[in-house]
Amino acid sequence: MNAPVNETLLAALLAALLAGVGGLLVPRLVARVPEPAPKADAIPDDATPDDEPAKTPYAVIAARPGLGLRSAVVSAVSGALVGAVTGLDWPLLWLVPLVPVAVALSVIDWHTKLLPRVIVIPATLAAILLVTVVGLATDQRDALVRALVAMVVGRSFFWVLWFVRSAGMGFGDVRLAAPVGLVLGWAGWNEVALGLWVGFVSFALPAVGLAIVRRDRTMLKKSFPFGPFMVLGALAGLVWGTALSWPFGP
């Protein structure tokens, strides 16, 4: 974290470039996701205009004008932030590829309230493999153990929320909690704490705000996409988690 200025700048530029290029490929990744099998009761006979609309096809999402450019910009900015904080260090091996993947998942979840397992699971397995190899090869066993423990704890916590049917929580969020916990855990427990906290707060505030503005408490019971806020929390944890001096030390 105390890398020289030149090294920090180089890491930020490199991460921004690579993540930005990956962001350009987001529409292709979204378009390649297979559509979920339709459910027999997906559109009940007594459906009303207030019911949830039909899912937007992935191909339609991928074809949205400017999606590639917007994804590239968001990926590049996020990559630059991660690179500046991480420096030219091993975590860039998994963080940079995960940035455009996280952007793609955020786009999908925002439009469909789904986090496809065909993206989340392979990305998680690849991240686990890289973290394990780097941790063993560089003898950073403490960071490796912490990352794996944080992954299990994060996923278990979200599984409990899903099991008790917490508002807005789907099983895709449970799957996404694994890579989020993994990358934050490698960085440190402060990063884990801040990342999860920001994710929940940034998710809750819009719902509460809408309920207040519309004077409709049922807004709090509606399903909202949680994935983008989990990604935002992970980025905040990585970038600002080291600034915390409580509760897990500097």
What is the band of 49 on the pLDDT scale with cuts at 50, 70, 90? very low
Dump pLDDT digits (tens) for 155-196.
999 999 898 876 567 899 999 999 999 999 999 999 999 999
Residue 233: its H or E element: helix 227-240
What is the band of 203 on the pLDDT scale with cuts at 50, 70, 90? confident
Are residues 136 and 108 located together in one domain of the fold? no
How confident is the model at residue 3, as a pLDDT?
A: 59
Are residues 142 and 98 located together in one domain of the fold? no
Residues 6+ away with beta carbon under 8 Å from 168? 203, 207, 222, 223, 224, 225, 226
Residue 198: its H or E element: helix 189-214
Residue where a domain terminates, one of 112, 134, 159: 112
Tell me the C-alpha to C-alpha distance, in Å, between residue 187 and each of 8, 10, 134, 149, 249: 17, 20, 13, 12, 13
Are residues 214 and 193 located together in one domain of the fold? yes
DSSP state of 103: H
Q: How many domains does the chain have?
A: 2
Residue where a domain terminates, one of 76, 97, 112: 112
Are residues 80 and 118 located together in one domain of the fold? no
Helix axes 92-112, 171-187, angle to 10 degrees: 160
Domain range spanning residue 25? 1-33+56-112
What is the band of 204 on the pLDDT scale with cuts at 50, 70, 90? confident
Are residues 75 and 163 located together in one domain of the fold? no
Are residues 98 and 184 located together in one domain of the fold? no
How confident is the model at residue 5, as a pLDDT?
A: 72
Are residues 133 and 188 located together in one domain of the fold? yes
Are residues 200 and 90 located together in one domain of the fold? no
Are residues 65 and 175 located together in one domain of the fold? no
Are residues 74 and 193 located together in one domain of the fold? no
More confidently predicted of 36 and 46: 36
In a domain, 207, yes or no: yes
In a domain, 189, yes or no: yes
Residue where a domain terminates, one of 94, 112, 130: 112
How confident is the model at residue 6, as a pLDDT?
A: 87
In a domain, 68, yes or no: yes
Instruction: Report the pLDDT averaged over residues 27-55.
Output: 68
Instruction: Report the pLDDT averaged over residues 41-50.
Output: 45
In a domain, 45, yes or no: no
How confident is the model at residue 249, as a pLDDT?
A: 53
How confident is the model at residue 116, as a pLDDT?
A: 95
pTM above 0.75, yes or no: yes
Task: Please count the residues of the chain.
Answer: 250
Q: Which residues of 163-174 are buried (b: 16+ CB within 10 A; e: fewer)?
A: eeeeebbbebbb
What is the band of 205 on the pLDDT scale with cuts at 50, 70, 90? confident
Are residues 192 and 102 located together in one domain of the fold? no
In a domain, 43, yes or no: no
Please say if the pLDDT value at position 13 is more than 60: yes
Instruction: Report the pLDDT averaged over residues 220-228.
Output: 74
Please say if the pLDDT value at position 4 is more than 80: no
Are residues 191 and 229 located together in one domain of the fold? yes
In a domain, 39, yes or no: no
Amino acid at 245: S
Phi first, then psi: give them for residue 185, nearest 5 degrees.
Answer: -65, -35
In a domain, 38, yes or no: no
What mean pLDDT, rounded, does the chain reach?
87
In a domain, 142, yes or no: yes
